[in-house]
Amino acid sequence: MSGARALLAEVFGAAAEAEVRAPGRVNLLGGHVDYNGGLVLPLAVPRFVTAVGARRADRTRRLVSEGFGEPVTLGAETPEWARLFEALVQVMLQAGVPVPGFEVALNSDVPVGAGLSSSAAAGVAVATLVLRLAGASASALEVARWVQAAEHRGLGVRSGLMDPLVSAGARAGYVMALDCLDETYSLLPLRPELAEVVIIPTATARALAASGYNERRAACERGLAAVQARHPEVRALAEVEPAWLDAVLDPDDALRCRHVVAEVARARAGAAALAAGDVAEVGRLMSASHVSLRDLYQVTTPELDALAGLSAAAPESFGGRVTGAGFGGATVHLVRPGQAEAFLARVEGALEGRKGWVARPTDGALALG
């Protein structure tokens, strides 16, 4: 019996009717461009939120999560940790999903605050579970849009589409090349004989709503508005030419916009390199991305910078960068095949026992029962 099934039985005395797991993610390239209409290169990682549930005869919706204490009834003074799920139920109801009453239990091995998208994975797991309990279906894109809307409404985080879409729709062995402007994507193989992905969490967890995430997004929106005053045909910052950024007069806003425009170009080049099997070029672009996130977007920390610098110089590594929003969290590295353990030993020796793991690209949300 899974931990979530045992929790459901212990707390609610219920037998699971359905079980779903949804993965976390890392992003190789495209830092902070998802909400600016750019291309991103994420993949799902084998760390999962598992959700199990049973229907109720009434419309009461109850939820318990391992590590968060007492169970909650959604809509009745919902505590902060459960507000995502309360908002998600409302979004799904508004979309026409016949959400039943339910009892749901969650557990997770996605580290919270590590920049691996634990919140989006939890939202995708619960949304997919609720669909099964309701006898309904939806595409990965629909699920991702619901979770994105719930994060905006329930958590106050103006997140992009990337995190929930990867958690919902990724495929094992592939990187998702997602165009966030038209919401289309292709799948690019990441062959293990060419490179391995290594994730290294830092000691600093980050909270998006309490960090500068929303401020960075607001800076991009101000910059876009300044450019659109001269170029009204532009739909998103990802379409802006570098020379047009002289319209952005605020110096901090200009820094943020310069990062986005350059990062979009890096992500496009990275997608082409990945398609050609040129993982060394992908790694070089990842290291350049980190420098831009450090100097222009200013979302890194000294520990993140140390890890990225070590990755850029280590013979085992092609390159690496902060993944997720920054302000703490984790780094992602592209490492030579068969060299992951040597790279991790180098990191542990240089940075006070900092540990990481190899992450093979995995499937998106799966129904387990």
Catalytic residue among 109, 163, 252, 278: 163
Distances (CA, A) of 77 to 80, 99, 100, 192: 9, 20, 20, 48
Distances (CA, A) of 149 to 26, 47, 64, 86, 217: 21, 23, 22, 12, 16
Burial class (CB in 10 A: 0-12, 13-18, 19+), 351: middle
- Residue 163 is a catalytic residue: yes
CA nearest neighbour of 64 among 1, 126, 133, 143: 126
Distances (CA, A) of 287 to 192, 223, 319, 334, 350: 20, 25, 5, 10, 19
Q: Is 151:84 a contact under the CB 8 Å cutoff? A: yes
**Alpha carbon of residue 265 to chain centroid:** 20
111, containing H or E segment: none
43, containing H or E segment: strand 42-55
What is the four-CA torsion angle of 221, 115, 110, 274, rounded to 10 degrees? 90
Residue 233, phi then psi, degrees to nearest 5: -75, -15
Residues recognised as catalytic: 163
